[in-house]
Amino acid sequence: MPEALQIGESFVGDAANAAHVNTVFGHREGPAGVAWATALATPSAGHVPFVTVLQPSLPVKPLTLFVTKSAPSNDAHGLLIWGPAQAGIAAGVADALADGILSPAEADSHVIIAAVWVNPVADDADAVFANNRLSVRTALENGTLSLPSTADVIAARKSPFNPFYTPET
């Protein structure tokens, strides 16, 4: 039986500087590796996937592809994506590795795709960094633990909401 993909999600922070990260984690030789390479090789206008680095020429492991969910709306927004959001994703993946959420063996055999939302009106680079760092670590942990539980999904079905919409009751 092939290794299952781990899918994770996390929303951290509030207002314009919040982070919403979705992760796909799996073996390089499986569907995650194919999706990773395909996404890297097929950028689209405003959505150019790139390898996440801790420092120039030091990619985080497992190799992580940063995919923005929001095309840069202006230079300042682009700098928040390429700067603090990207650094936060790299640091959060390294945190997941250091904390044992991901194993050292997986660091060389697996890949991560991180789909990242940076609000076009975000205005605090340090908050964008911190929120993305925690959000990707949490998303990877949630994927490892298969969270949320089915019971939590069923329990929440009668009161769905998100930071952008709360239904009137």
Q: pLDDT of 42-88, one tens digit each?
A: 999 888 999 999 999 999 999 999 999 999 999 999 999 999 999 99
Q: For the chain, which residues make up each domain, given as ranges?
A: 6-145
47 is catalytic: no
> pLDDT for 106-119, tens place per residue?
999 999 999 999 99
DSSP string, 111-165: EEEEEEE--TT---HHHHHHHHHHHHHHHHHHHHTTPSPHHHHHHHTTS--BTTB
CATH class of the region 6-145: alpha beta
Q: Could you say which of 20, 27, 47, 77 is catalytic?
A: 20
pLDDT (average), residues 145-152: 96
Task: Give this prediction's pTM.
Answer: 0.95
